[in-house]
């Protein structure tokens, strides 16, 4: 057993022992979510949903600032709509849930059974390009009606055989944007604008660095001309796709009949995009920042940013301590962090101080503040930051802490990002040979793989066959083809053929 594994921590197993199980235990200990009785689905508990609500609120403000507005479209999609876009339906066919009947009835044995078959089956929304396209076809008549810039917050259903909380579930929460434009250039600009918006959100709010780029032909969204992606590296050095932005060309406009009279008076199909991120971002935060004592949350998305813990061992000081805690909470709520009031909670539950402290450690609250009888005498507080070692604690005067709290939250946010950035850099490697590539992605102990690999920057000749071979051999895929103009001529490390640039390879979730 390693020294790390020999150390007693709140979460068992530790990351180095069994990363997938550690992830599940962090979620359980932090009370983020739990499996439901419906196979493949999950229950998102209030703390986990609070994180998603903060992401939703902050992203929504960014969408509105770029001219997008929210709408809502049906959960059920006629099967015939999918048949209009062959490549799209083929990509989702195996994941679709289908409604075939309109009601239940009791049979002769007293059991419930489906009755009254639908004339046309309905697909439960796996994504909304087709149903939204049907509405856009009615709304768009002229170039003057463009652009349409709409976002939808919704749930979607894609059957998942190997569920994992937040990362892969049959039903999941997300946002999906759908836009129509007059020209190809405008649609491509929208696709890139959203990619940049997502990158800014993930970096500045979630404190996660990402690589951006285009998906390969085999990895792009079904029916898209081009898919742009954000790829984050988490602590087991695998990639998580943090978001995608798709340029759909005129493919879906043709399928849905989205036409308009252009400036020359001729009929033309619209140019469309779609883009989305999901609640898997909560999973990405868990995997990126947490430690062997539980969740660690960036302050910008924490439901509670500061928790105040009254320590009341004696009844004669209890009232004064609680009053001091409430007064500090009121003072902190009057201060701003990132243009919003600081979110403060006073934990007044009748539990031991140690029990409460560990609960909040596991929940990942950025700052914990203890006030006990000795602190009361000194007009002080004991302050602990979740981004620092668990046992570290600083005594400060109440006024000093209240004054410094916004800056302290900012420093935690900054520290988490810089720590993640260092990790990404340390585990991203330029690879020049096939042997080094295979060695990089092969664990020393295949029977019980240790954390290994990372992101590899390697030349590739563009062959889909090579891409599939690497996937079969190593479970490694091309995560992104960089978008920058720094083309670098070289040789494909697998075939020695000419290559125009390096691409990013990794194992992934």
Number of domains present in the structure of the chain: 3
Judge whether 499 lies within some domain. yes
The answer to whether residues 327 and 465 belong to one domain is no
The answer to whether residues 228 and 342 belong to one domain is no
The answer to whether residues 98 and 233 belong to one domain is yes
pLDDT at 438 (0 to 100) = 98
- pLDDT > 50? residue 5: no
Q: What CATH number is given to the structural domain containing 433? A: 3.30.110.30
Q: What CATH number is given to the structural domain containing 16? A: 3.30.930.10
pLDDT at 444 (0 to 100) = 93
Last residue of a domain, one of 373, 408, 443: 408
pLDDT at 485 (0 to 100) = 63
pLDDT at 342 (0 to 100) = 99
Instruction: Give the DSSP H/E element, type plus range, for residue 156.
Output: strand 148-157
The answer to whether residues 100 and 185 belong to one domain is yes
Judge whether 301 lies within some domain. no
Query: Within 13 Å and on the Cβ side, how many CA atoms surround 216?
Result: 18
Interval 277-294 mean pLDDT: 99
pLDDT band at 486 (very low <50, low <70, confident <90, very high): low
pLDDT, tens digit, for every residue of 376-418?
999 999 999 999 999 999 999 999 999 999 999 999 999 999 9
Q: ω before 147 within 30° of 0 (cis)?
A: yes
Cα–Cα distance for residue pair 120/454, rounded to 1 Å: 47
pLDDT, tens digit, for every residue of 50-83?
999 999 999 999 999 999 999 999 999 999 998 8
The answer to whether residues 36 and 123 belong to one domain is yes
The region of weakest confidence among 8-17, 77-86, 225-234, 273-282 is 77-86
pLDDT at 106 (0 to 100) = 93
- pLDDT > 70? residue 175: yes
Judge whether 129 lies within some domain. yes
Judge whether 30 lies within some domain. yes
Strand order in the sheet with 455-459: 428-430, 455-459, 502-506, 477-480
CB contact set of 455 (below 8 Å; sequence gap of 6+): 211, 231, 233, 237, 239, 424, 427, 428, 429, 479, 504, 505, 506
Environment class of residue 186 by beta-carbon count within 10 Å: exposed (0-12), middle (13-18) or buried (19+)? Answer: middle
Cα–Cα distance for residue pair 382/398, rounded to 1 Å: 9
The answer to whether residues 373 and 449 belong to one domain is no
Judge whether 422 lies within some domain. no
The answer to whether residues 52 and 121 belong to one domain is yes
Last residue of a domain, one of 289, 319, 354: 289
Judge whether 438 lies within some domain. yes
pLDDT at 2 (0 to 100) = 41
Judge whether 386 lies within some domain. yes
Interval 273-288 mean pLDDT: 99
Interval 193-215 mean pLDDT: 99
The region of weakest confidence among 25-39, 80-94, 443-457 is 80-94
Question: For residue 499, what are the domain limits?
Answer: 428-506
The answer to whether residues 148 and 214 belong to one domain is yes
pLDDT at 52 (0 to 100) = 99
Judge whether 415 lies within some domain. no
The answer to whether residues 46 and 145 belong to one domain is yes
Report the share of the chain in percent with pLDDT over 90: 91
pLDDT at 353 (0 to 100) = 80
pLDDT, tens digit, for every residue of 416-459?
999 999 999 999 999 999 999 999 999 999 888 999 999 999 99
pLDDT at 441 (0 to 100) = 98
pLDDT at 41 (0 to 100) = 97
Interval 290-298 mean pLDDT: 99
Tokens of 118: 């639908």
Q: Helices 280-289 & 398-426, crossing angle to 10 degrees?
A: 90
- pLDDT > 70? residue 261: yes
Last residue of a domain, one of 230, 259, 289: 289
CB contact set of 73 (below 8 Å; sequence gap of 6+): 128, 131, 132, 135, 152, 154
Buried/exposed code over 145-169 (b: 16+ C-beta within 10 A; e: otherwise): ebbbbbbbebebbbebeebbbbbbb
Q: What CATH number is given to the structural domain containing 394? A: 3.40.50.800
- pLDDT > 60? residue 1: no
The answer to whether residues 11 and 158 belong to one domain is yes
| Whole-model pTM over 0.85 | yes
The answer to whether residues 264 and 369 belong to one domain is no
Tokens of 401: 């802490």
The answer to whether residues 372 and 231 belong to one domain is no
Closest CA to 178 of 91, 59, 73, 79: 73
pLDDT at 488 (0 to 100) = 84
Cα–Cα distance for residue pair 230/275, rounded to 1 Å: 12
Q: DSSP string spanning 401-427? A: HHHHHHHHHHHHHHHHHHHHHHHHHHT
- pLDDT > 50? residue 4: no
pLDDT at 179 (0 to 100) = 99
């Amino acid at each position: 057993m390693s020294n790390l594994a020999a150390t007693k921590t709140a979460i068992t197993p530790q990351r180095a022992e069994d990363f997938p199980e550690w992830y599940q235990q962090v979620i359980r200990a932090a009370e983020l979510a739990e499996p439901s009785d419906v196979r493949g689905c999950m229950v998102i508990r209030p703390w986990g949903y609070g994180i998603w609500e903060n992401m939703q609120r902050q992203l929504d403000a960014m969408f509105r600032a770029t001219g997008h507005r929210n709408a809502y479209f049906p959960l059920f999609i006629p099967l015939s709509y999918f048949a209009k876009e062959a490549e799209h339906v083929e990509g989702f066919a195996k994941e679709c849930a289908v409604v075939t009947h309109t009601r239940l009835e009791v049979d002769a044995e007293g059991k419930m059974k489906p009755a009254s078959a639908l004339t046309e089956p309905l697909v439960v929304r796996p994504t909304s390009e087709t149903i939204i396209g049907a509405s856009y076809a009615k709304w768009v008549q002229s170039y003057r009606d463009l652009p349409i810039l709409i976002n939808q917050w919704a749930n979607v259903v894609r059957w998942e055989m190997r569920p994992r909380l937040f990362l892969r579930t049959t039903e999941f929460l997300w946002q999906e944007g759908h836009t129509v434009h007059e020209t190809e250039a405008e649609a491509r600009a929208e696709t890139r604008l959203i990619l940049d918006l997502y990158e800014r959100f993930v970096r500045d709010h979630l404190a996660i660095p990402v690589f951006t780029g285009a998906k390969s032909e085999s990895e792009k969204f079904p029916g898209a001309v081009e898919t742009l992606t954000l790829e984050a590296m988490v602590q087991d050095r695998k990639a998580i796709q943090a978001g995608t932005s798709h340029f759909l060309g005129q493919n879906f406009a043709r399928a849905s009949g989205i036409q308009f009279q252009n400036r020359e008076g001729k009929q033309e199909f619209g140019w469309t995009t779609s883009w989305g991120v999901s609640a898997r971002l909560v999973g990405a935060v868990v995997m990126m920042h947490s430690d062997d004592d539980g969740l660690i949350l960036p302050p910008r998305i924490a439901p509670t940013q500061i928790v105040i813990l009254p320590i009341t061992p004696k009844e004669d000081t209890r009232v004064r301590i609680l009053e001091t805690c409430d007064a500090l909470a009121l003072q902190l709520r009057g201060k701003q962090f990132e243009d919003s009031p600081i979110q403060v909670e006073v934990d007044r539950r009748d539990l031991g101080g140690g029990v409460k402290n560990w609960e909040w450690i596991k929940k990942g609250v950025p700052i914990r503040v203890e006030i006990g009888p000795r602190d009361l005498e000194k007009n002080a507080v004991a302050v602990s930051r979740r981004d620092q070692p668990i046992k570290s604690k600083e005594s400060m005067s109440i006024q000093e802490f209240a004054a410094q709290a916004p800056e302290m939250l900012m420093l935690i946010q900054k520290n988490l990002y810089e720590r993640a950035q260092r990790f990404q850099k340390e585990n991203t490697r330029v690879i020049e040979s096939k042997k080094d590539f295979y060695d990089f992605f092969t664990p020393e102990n295949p029977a019980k793989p240790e954390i290994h690999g990372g992101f590899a920057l390697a030349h590739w000749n563009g062959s889909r066959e090579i891409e599939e071979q690497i996937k079969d051999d190593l479970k490694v895929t091309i995560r992104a083809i960089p978008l920058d103009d720094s083309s670098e001529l070289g040789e494909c490390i697998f075939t020695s053929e000419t290559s125009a640039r390096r691409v990013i390879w990794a194992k992934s979730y």
